[in-house]
Amino acid sequence: MRERFFAPRLKVRSYDELNAWLVDKCVAYAKSHAHPERPETTIWAAFEDERPHLIPYRGRFDGFHALPASVSKTCLVRFDNNKYSVSAGAVGRPVEVHAYADRIVIRQDGRVAAEHARCYGRGETVYDPWHYVSVLARKPGALRNGAPFRDWVLPTALERVKRKLAGSNDGDRQMVAILAAVLTDGLSAVEAACGEALADGVHSADVIINILARRRDPLPIAPIATPASLTLHHAPIADCARYDQFRRT
């Protein structure tokens, strides 16, 4: 197989591209070559004969290399001469690295603490800025200078709000409050709230968080129409003096 399909050496952008190319080559070869034990038919025809008897495909095989690791105070896990970020809540407790061919999945207590595209270089650090949002509450200035946030491209509305807040004295603090809302309300909800605020000509964190709070609260209950059979024929008259009668009795 190596001599047939991989010589000369291929250059591809991803494993998905490689697999798609390999499938095409294997099918083309099977359709154009005779079966080694049944020369009267092709490899592809023999495969088609066997297909109804094959076990159904259950999905990609979950093949990975697992090993334990520790999390540094800077929310980083070292694997294969590179470092990968994890959520800040994972600091101080051991994790397990699941290394796939194309990605790294870091688990803690059975939950995914991080997932990154696998890096095959040496001495590189792979950040996910969202892993550090909770840390920004203590150091909002890191949003401008911190390594995890360099070249961080936010969704359109969030990026516009960030640019507008850049000119405020407390712009970093307000932006951190907005980003922290993503951890509880979700990115799509915060993006929509930012878009609504910008459409109204405002961009402060208080307004955006207020919009999110309004959207979280349930809508008021619709009034219930009174059935005709329960309609009052004699409207009640407010007369507090009637209570004096009970007091005298």
Per-residue pLDDT averaged across 181-203, rounded?
92
Encode pLDDT of 168-190 as tens digits. 888 899 999 999 999 899 999 99
Cβ-count burial of 228 within 10 angstroms (0-12 exposed, 13-18 middle, 19+ buried)? exposed
Please give the model's pTM, rounded to 2 decimal places. Answer: 0.70
Encode pLDDT of 85-127 as tens digits. 999 999 989 999 999 988 999 999 989 999 999 998 999 999 9
3-state secondary structure the chain: CHHHHCCCCCCCCCHHHHHHHHHHHHHHHHHHCECCCCCCCEHHHHHHHHHHHCCCCCCCCCCCEEEEECCCCCCEEEECCEEEECCHHHCCCCEEEEECCCEEEEEECCEEEEEEECCCCCCCEECCHHHHHHHHCCCCCHHHHCHHHCCCCCCHHHHHHHHHHCCCCCHHHHHHHHHHHHHHHCHHHHHHHHHHHHHCCCCCHHHHHHHHHHHHCCCCCCCCCCCHHHCCCCCCCCCCCHHHHHHHC
Instruction: Return d(Cα 4, Cα 116) in angstroms, integer.
Output: 33
Encode pLDDT of 211-234 as tens digits. 999 888 767 778 888 788 888 888
Beta bridge partners of 68: 96
Q: What pLDDT does 84 receive?
A: 97
Instruction: Return d(Cα 195, Cα 156) in angstroms, integer.
Output: 9
Q: What pLDDT does 248 receive?
A: 67
Residue 59: pLDDT band by 50, 70, 90 thresholds? confident
Orientation angle between helical segments 156-165 and 171-185, nearest 10 degrees: 150
Q: What pLDDT does 82 receive?
A: 96
Residue 68: pLDDT band by 50, 70, 90 thresholds? very high
Q: What pLDDT does 249 receive?
A: 59
Is residue 197 within 8 Å of residue 161, measured between CB atoms?
yes
Quote the distance between the C-alpha of residue 215 and its chain's center.
21
Q: In what order do the strands lie in the sheet with 95-99?
A: 65-69, 95-99, 103-108, 111-117
State the average pLDDT for the chain: 90
